[in-house]
Structure 1
Amino acid sequence: MAQPIQTIKKTELTEEQKKVQSLENLLSEVAQNKDSLLETLHLLQELHDSGILEALGSLVKAKESVAKIAVGQLTRPPVTNMINNAMAAGGALTAIDPEMTQKLMTSVANGLQKAEQGLQSGEKVGILDLMKVLKDPDINRAIGFGLNLLKGIGEGLKE
Protein backbone atom coordinates (compact mmCIF):
# COMPACT_ATOMS: atom_id res chain seq x y z
CA MET A 1 0.00 0.00 0.00
CA ALA A 2 1.28 3.49 -0.91
CA GLN A 3 2.27 6.11 1.65
CA PRO A 4 -0.17 9.01 2.09
CA ILE A 5 1.02 12.43 0.88
CA GLN A 6 2.15 14.48 3.86
CA THR A 7 3.40 17.65 2.18
CA ILE A 8 2.58 19.41 -1.05
CA LYS A 9 5.42 21.07 -2.85
CA LYS A 10 4.49 24.25 -4.63
CA THR A 11 6.66 24.91 -7.62
CA GLU A 12 7.50 28.57 -7.93
CA LEU A 13 8.62 29.99 -11.22
CA THR A 14 11.77 32.01 -11.44
CA GLU A 15 11.68 35.54 -12.80
CA GLU A 16 13.08 34.33 -16.10
CA GLN A 17 10.39 31.64 -16.39
CA LYS A 18 7.68 34.20 -15.58
CA LYS A 19 8.98 36.49 -18.33
CA VAL A 20 9.08 33.64 -20.85
CA GLN A 21 5.54 32.58 -19.93
CA SER A 22 4.32 36.18 -20.16
CA LEU A 23 5.91 36.59 -23.61
CA GLU A 24 4.34 33.34 -24.80
CA ASN A 25 0.91 34.53 -23.64
CA LEU A 26 1.43 37.87 -25.37
CA LEU A 27 2.49 36.22 -28.64
CA SER A 28 -0.53 33.95 -28.48
CA GLU A 29 -2.86 36.96 -28.02
CA VAL A 30 -1.15 38.83 -30.88
CA ALA A 31 -1.59 35.81 -33.15
CA GLN A 32 -5.28 35.49 -32.25
CA ASN A 33 -5.99 39.22 -32.79
CA LYS A 34 -3.78 39.85 -35.81
CA ASP A 35 -6.46 41.49 -37.98
CA SER A 36 -7.69 43.91 -35.32
CA LEU A 37 -4.12 44.83 -34.35
CA LEU A 38 -3.21 45.54 -37.98
CA GLU A 39 -6.35 47.65 -38.38
CA THR A 40 -5.46 49.58 -35.23
CA LEU A 41 -1.94 50.19 -36.52
CA HIS A 42 -3.33 51.48 -39.84
CA LEU A 43 -5.70 53.79 -37.95
CA LEU A 44 -2.85 55.11 -35.82
CA GLN A 45 -0.78 55.69 -38.96
CA GLU A 46 -3.63 57.66 -40.56
CA LEU A 47 -4.03 59.73 -37.38
CA HIS A 48 -0.28 60.36 -37.38
CA ASP A 49 -0.19 61.31 -41.07
CA SER A 50 -3.08 63.76 -40.67
CA GLY A 51 -1.54 65.41 -37.59
CA ILE A 52 -4.44 64.48 -35.34
CA LEU A 53 -2.30 62.16 -33.25
CA GLU A 54 0.18 64.95 -32.55
CA ALA A 55 -2.66 67.32 -31.64
CA LEU A 56 -4.16 64.75 -29.27
CA GLY A 57 -0.74 64.20 -27.69
CA SER A 58 -0.33 67.94 -27.14
CA LEU A 59 -3.85 68.13 -25.73
CA VAL A 60 -3.11 65.36 -23.25
CA LYS A 61 0.18 67.00 -22.23
CA ALA A 62 -1.61 70.30 -21.66
CA LYS A 63 -4.57 68.69 -19.87
CA GLU A 64 -4.42 70.98 -16.86
CA SER A 65 -4.52 74.22 -18.84
CA VAL A 66 -7.15 72.75 -21.20
CA ALA A 67 -9.29 71.78 -18.21
CA LYS A 68 -9.00 75.32 -16.82
CA ILE A 69 -10.09 76.79 -20.15
CA ALA A 70 -12.99 74.34 -20.45
CA VAL A 71 -14.20 75.04 -16.91
CA GLY A 72 -13.83 78.77 -17.55
CA GLN A 73 -15.95 78.52 -20.69
CA LEU A 74 -18.59 76.36 -19.01
CA THR A 75 -19.02 78.78 -16.10
CA ARG A 76 -19.70 81.81 -18.32
CA PRO A 77 -23.21 83.24 -17.75
CA PRO A 78 -24.49 82.48 -21.30
CA VAL A 79 -23.47 78.84 -20.96
CA THR A 80 -24.93 78.44 -17.48
CA ASN A 81 -28.14 80.12 -18.72
CA MET A 82 -28.29 77.66 -21.61
CA ILE A 83 -27.80 74.69 -19.27
CA ASN A 84 -30.45 76.01 -16.86
CA ASN A 85 -32.88 76.61 -19.74
CA ALA A 86 -32.27 73.12 -21.13
CA MET A 87 -32.91 71.61 -17.70
CA ALA A 88 -36.11 73.68 -17.28
CA ALA A 89 -37.30 72.67 -20.76
CA GLY A 90 -36.51 69.04 -20.00
CA GLY A 91 -38.48 69.27 -16.77
CA ALA A 92 -41.43 70.84 -18.59
CA LEU A 93 -41.34 68.17 -21.29
CA THR A 94 -41.63 65.42 -18.69
CA ALA A 95 -44.99 66.89 -17.62
CA ILE A 96 -46.42 66.83 -21.16
CA ASP A 97 -48.15 63.78 -22.58
CA PRO A 98 -45.95 62.42 -25.42
CA GLU A 99 -49.00 61.61 -27.55
CA MET A 100 -50.15 65.23 -27.31
CA THR A 101 -46.66 66.44 -28.24
CA GLN A 102 -46.64 64.12 -31.28
CA LYS A 103 -50.10 65.31 -32.31
CA LEU A 104 -49.08 68.96 -31.91
CA MET A 105 -45.85 68.52 -33.88
CA THR A 106 -47.70 66.76 -36.71
CA SER A 107 -50.31 69.53 -36.72
CA VAL A 108 -47.62 72.23 -36.82
CA ALA A 109 -45.92 70.50 -39.77
CA ASN A 110 -49.25 70.27 -41.58
CA GLY A 111 -49.96 73.92 -40.77
CA LEU A 112 -46.58 74.98 -42.14
CA GLN A 113 -47.34 73.18 -45.41
CA LYS A 114 -50.72 74.93 -45.69
CA ALA A 115 -49.10 78.29 -44.85
CA GLU A 116 -46.50 77.75 -47.59
CA GLN A 117 -49.28 77.00 -50.07
CA GLY A 118 -51.11 80.16 -48.97
CA LEU A 119 -47.97 82.26 -49.43
CA GLN A 120 -47.42 80.89 -52.92
CA SER A 121 -51.03 81.54 -53.98
CA GLY A 122 -50.70 85.21 -53.01
CA GLU A 123 -54.41 85.59 -52.16
CA LYS A 124 -55.39 88.56 -50.01
CA VAL A 125 -57.49 87.98 -46.92
CA GLY A 126 -60.27 90.43 -46.09
CA ILE A 127 -62.52 90.94 -43.07
CA LEU A 128 -65.36 88.94 -44.60
CA ASP A 129 -62.92 86.09 -45.35
CA LEU A 130 -62.01 86.00 -41.64
CA MET A 131 -65.69 85.84 -40.66
CA LYS A 132 -66.30 83.00 -43.11
CA VAL A 133 -63.33 80.88 -41.98
CA LEU A 134 -64.53 80.97 -38.36
CA LYS A 135 -67.26 78.55 -39.50
CA ASP A 136 -64.58 76.09 -40.71
CA PRO A 137 -64.33 73.41 -37.97
CA ASP A 138 -60.56 73.00 -38.42
CA ILE A 139 -59.87 76.72 -38.04
CA ASN A 140 -62.35 76.98 -35.16
CA ARG A 141 -60.59 74.08 -33.41
CA ALA A 142 -57.16 75.73 -33.89
CA ILE A 143 -58.40 79.09 -32.62
CA GLY A 144 -59.99 77.41 -29.59
CA PHE A 145 -56.76 75.53 -28.94
CA GLY A 146 -54.76 78.77 -29.23
CA LEU A 147 -57.09 80.68 -26.91
CA ASN A 148 -56.94 77.91 -24.29
CA LEU A 149 -53.17 77.78 -24.68
CA LEU A 150 -52.96 81.52 -24.09
CA LYS A 151 -55.25 81.20 -21.05
CA GLY A 152 -53.01 78.49 -19.59
CA ILE A 153 -49.89 80.56 -20.22
CA GLY A 154 -51.54 83.55 -18.58
CA GLU A 155 -52.50 81.51 -15.53
CA GLY A 156 -48.96 80.21 -15.28
CA LEU A 157 -47.50 83.72 -15.52
CA LYS A 158 -49.75 84.93 -12.68
CA GLU A 159 -48.00 82.66 -10.16
Structure 2
Amino acid sequence: MAEPISKVAEPILTENEIQNQALEKVLQDITKNIDGIQETIKLLQELHDSGILEGVTSLIEAKEQIAKIVVGQSLRPPVTNAINNAMAAAGMITEINPETTKKMTESLTKGIQKAEEGLQLNKKVGLFDLLKLIKDPDINRVMRFGMDFLKGLGEGLKEKA
Protein backbone atom coordinates (compact mmCIF):
# COMPACT_ATOMS: atom_id res chain seq x y z
CA MET A 1 0.00 0.00 0.00
CA ALA A 2 1.23 3.50 -0.86
CA GLU A 3 2.06 6.05 1.80
CA PRO A 4 -0.18 9.15 2.06
CA ILE A 5 1.22 12.42 0.67
CA SER A 6 2.03 14.63 3.61
CA LYS A 7 3.99 17.34 1.85
CA VAL A 8 3.12 19.13 -1.39
CA ALA A 9 6.14 20.31 -3.32
CA GLU A 10 5.80 23.92 -4.41
CA PRO A 11 6.99 24.45 -7.94
CA ILE A 12 10.19 26.45 -7.99
CA LEU A 13 9.92 29.28 -10.51
CA THR A 14 12.88 30.74 -12.28
CA GLU A 15 13.50 34.49 -12.30
CA ASN A 16 12.36 34.60 -15.91
CA GLU A 17 9.05 32.81 -15.07
CA ILE A 18 8.40 35.21 -12.17
CA GLN A 19 8.92 38.19 -14.48
CA ASN A 20 6.64 36.66 -17.12
CA GLN A 21 3.88 36.13 -14.52
CA ALA A 22 4.23 39.71 -13.29
CA LEU A 23 4.13 41.01 -16.86
CA GLU A 24 1.02 38.91 -17.58
CA LYS A 25 -0.68 40.33 -14.47
CA VAL A 26 0.14 43.90 -15.54
CA LEU A 27 -1.22 43.26 -19.04
CA GLN A 28 -4.46 41.87 -17.57
CA ASP A 29 -4.83 44.96 -15.35
CA ILE A 30 -4.23 47.24 -18.33
CA THR A 31 -6.87 45.53 -20.46
CA LYS A 32 -9.40 45.71 -17.60
CA ASN A 33 -8.80 49.45 -17.08
CA ILE A 34 -8.03 50.67 -20.60
CA ASP A 35 -10.45 53.66 -20.50
CA GLY A 36 -9.05 55.00 -17.24
CA ILE A 37 -5.48 54.54 -18.40
CA GLN A 38 -6.18 56.40 -21.66
CA GLU A 39 -7.81 59.27 -19.74
CA THR A 40 -4.82 59.39 -17.38
CA ILE A 41 -2.43 59.57 -20.34
CA LYS A 42 -4.49 62.42 -21.84
CA LEU A 43 -4.42 64.27 -18.50
CA LEU A 44 -0.66 63.82 -18.15
CA GLN A 45 -0.15 65.06 -21.72
CA GLU A 46 -2.27 68.17 -21.04
CA LEU A 47 -0.32 68.84 -17.83
CA HIS A 48 2.93 68.38 -19.75
CA ASP A 49 1.84 70.65 -22.64
CA SER A 50 0.79 73.43 -20.26
CA GLY A 51 4.02 73.21 -18.24
CA ILE A 52 2.21 72.33 -15.03
CA LEU A 53 3.73 68.86 -14.89
CA GLU A 54 7.24 70.31 -15.07
CA GLY A 55 6.40 72.74 -12.26
CA VAL A 56 4.99 70.00 -10.04
CA THR A 57 8.01 67.82 -10.73
CA SER A 58 10.33 70.68 -9.79
CA LEU A 59 8.38 71.28 -6.59
CA ILE A 60 8.65 67.64 -5.62
CA GLU A 61 12.36 67.59 -6.38
CA ALA A 62 12.90 70.70 -4.24
CA LYS A 63 10.65 69.57 -1.37
CA GLU A 64 13.36 69.83 1.31
CA GLN A 65 14.33 73.36 0.30
CA ILE A 66 10.68 74.40 0.11
CA ALA A 67 9.96 72.88 3.52
CA LYS A 68 12.87 74.82 5.04
CA ILE A 69 11.58 78.06 3.53
CA VAL A 70 8.00 77.43 4.68
CA VAL A 71 9.11 76.60 8.23
CA GLY A 72 11.46 79.61 8.30
CA GLN A 73 8.74 81.96 7.10
CA SER A 74 6.10 80.54 9.43
CA LEU A 75 8.32 81.23 12.45
CA ARG A 76 8.55 84.96 11.70
CA PRO A 77 6.73 87.14 14.27
CA PRO A 78 4.23 88.64 11.78
CA VAL A 79 3.16 85.16 10.69
CA THR A 80 2.89 83.81 14.23
CA ASN A 81 0.93 86.95 15.18
CA ALA A 82 -1.45 86.38 12.27
CA ILE A 83 -1.93 82.74 13.29
CA ASN A 84 -2.53 83.72 16.92
CA ASN A 85 -4.98 86.46 15.88
CA ALA A 86 -6.84 84.07 13.59
CA MET A 87 -7.13 81.52 16.39
CA ALA A 88 -8.35 84.20 18.83
CA ALA A 89 -10.90 85.45 16.29
CA ALA A 90 -12.08 81.91 15.64
CA GLY A 91 -12.45 81.37 19.38
CA MET A 92 -14.46 84.57 19.69
CA ILE A 93 -16.71 83.63 16.78
CA THR A 94 -17.48 80.25 18.31
CA GLU A 95 -18.87 82.00 21.39
CA ILE A 96 -21.31 84.16 19.40
CA ASN A 97 -24.81 82.85 18.81
CA PRO A 98 -25.17 82.12 15.05
CA GLU A 99 -28.60 83.76 14.98
CA THR A 100 -27.09 86.96 16.39
CA THR A 101 -24.35 86.86 13.76
CA LYS A 102 -26.91 86.37 11.00
CA LYS A 103 -29.05 89.22 12.29
CA MET A 104 -26.01 91.52 12.58
CA THR A 105 -24.79 90.79 9.03
CA GLU A 106 -28.27 91.32 7.58
CA SER A 107 -28.61 94.57 9.55
CA LEU A 108 -25.17 95.70 8.41
CA THR A 109 -26.13 95.09 4.79
CA LYS A 110 -29.32 97.07 5.19
CA GLY A 111 -27.45 99.86 7.00
CA ILE A 112 -24.92 100.14 4.18
CA GLN A 113 -27.72 100.31 1.61
CA LYS A 114 -29.42 103.13 3.57
CA ALA A 115 -26.10 104.95 3.91
CA GLU A 116 -25.55 104.79 0.14
CA GLU A 117 -29.03 106.19 -0.44
CA GLY A 118 -28.28 109.02 1.98
CA LEU A 119 -25.01 109.80 0.24
CA GLN A 120 -26.81 110.17 -3.08
CA LEU A 121 -29.21 112.72 -1.56
CA ASN A 122 -26.22 114.82 -0.45
CA LYS A 123 -28.37 116.50 2.22
CA LYS A 124 -26.94 118.47 5.15
CA VAL A 125 -27.90 117.39 8.66
CA GLY A 126 -28.87 120.08 11.15
CA LEU A 127 -29.18 120.05 14.94
CA PHE A 128 -32.98 119.68 14.80
CA ASP A 129 -32.58 116.73 12.40
CA LEU A 130 -30.40 115.01 15.02
CA LEU A 131 -32.95 115.68 17.78
CA LYS A 132 -35.72 114.20 15.62
CA LEU A 133 -33.61 111.12 14.90
CA ILE A 134 -33.22 110.38 18.60
CA LYS A 135 -37.00 109.82 18.77
CA ASP A 136 -36.88 107.41 15.79
CA PRO A 137 -37.27 103.85 17.18
CA ASP A 138 -34.72 102.40 14.74
CA ILE A 139 -32.10 105.02 15.61
CA ASN A 140 -32.86 104.63 19.31
CA ARG A 141 -32.46 100.85 19.03
CA VAL A 142 -29.01 101.13 17.42
CA MET A 143 -27.93 103.79 19.92
CA ARG A 144 -28.95 101.51 22.81
CA PHE A 145 -27.13 98.61 21.14
CA GLY A 146 -24.03 100.76 20.67
CA MET A 147 -24.04 101.96 24.27
CA ASP A 148 -24.51 98.41 25.59
CA PHE A 149 -21.73 97.23 23.29
CA LEU A 150 -19.39 99.95 24.53
CA LYS A 151 -20.31 99.13 28.15
CA GLY A 152 -19.48 95.45 27.63
CA LEU A 153 -16.28 96.31 25.80
CA GLY A 154 -15.21 98.58 28.65
CA GLU A 155 -15.98 95.88 31.21
CA GLY A 156 -13.94 93.40 29.20
CA LEU A 157 -11.00 95.79 28.99
CA LYS A 158 -11.14 96.37 32.75
CA GLU A 159 -11.02 92.60 33.44
CA LYS A 160 -8.06 92.04 31.09
CA ALA A 161 -5.91 94.95 32.33
Work out whether the TM-score is over 0.5.
yes
Aligned residues: 157
Distance 1:111 1:16, change over 3 A: same
- Cα distance per residue 1:88-137 (max 9 Å; x no partner): 00011111111111111111011111111111111111111111111111
Distance 1:4 1:89, change over 3 A: farther
- Cα distance per residue 1:41-63 (max 9 Å; x no partner): 11211222222222222222222
Calculate the TM-score normalised by the size of structure 1: 0.88
Give unpaired runs (5+ residues) of structure 1.
none
Amino acid of the residue matched to residue 140 of structure 2? N
- Match runs of 1:62-77 below 5 Å: 62-77=62-77
**Counterpart in 2 of 1:100?**
100
Deviation at 1:19, TM superposition (A): 3.0
**Counterpart in 1 of 2:87?**
87
| Aligned-partner Cα distance in 1 for 2:102–2:150 | 20
| Aligned-partner Cα distance in 2 for 1:89–1:5 | 78
Deviation at 1:27, TM superposition (A): 1.9
Deviation at 1:40, TM superposition (A): 1.4
| Aligned-partner Cα distance in 1 for 2:12–2:95 | 65
Distance 1:5 1:79, change over 3 A: same
- Cα distance per residue 1:128-151 (max 9 Å; x no partner): 111111111111111111111111
**Counterpart in 1 of 2:113?**
113
Distance 1:4 1:135, change over 3 A: farther
Give unpaired runs (5+ residues) of structure 2.
none
**Counterpart in 2 of 1:128?**
128
| Aligned-partner Cα distance in 1 for 2:144–2:9 | 87
Calculate the TM-score normalised by the size of structure 2: 0.87
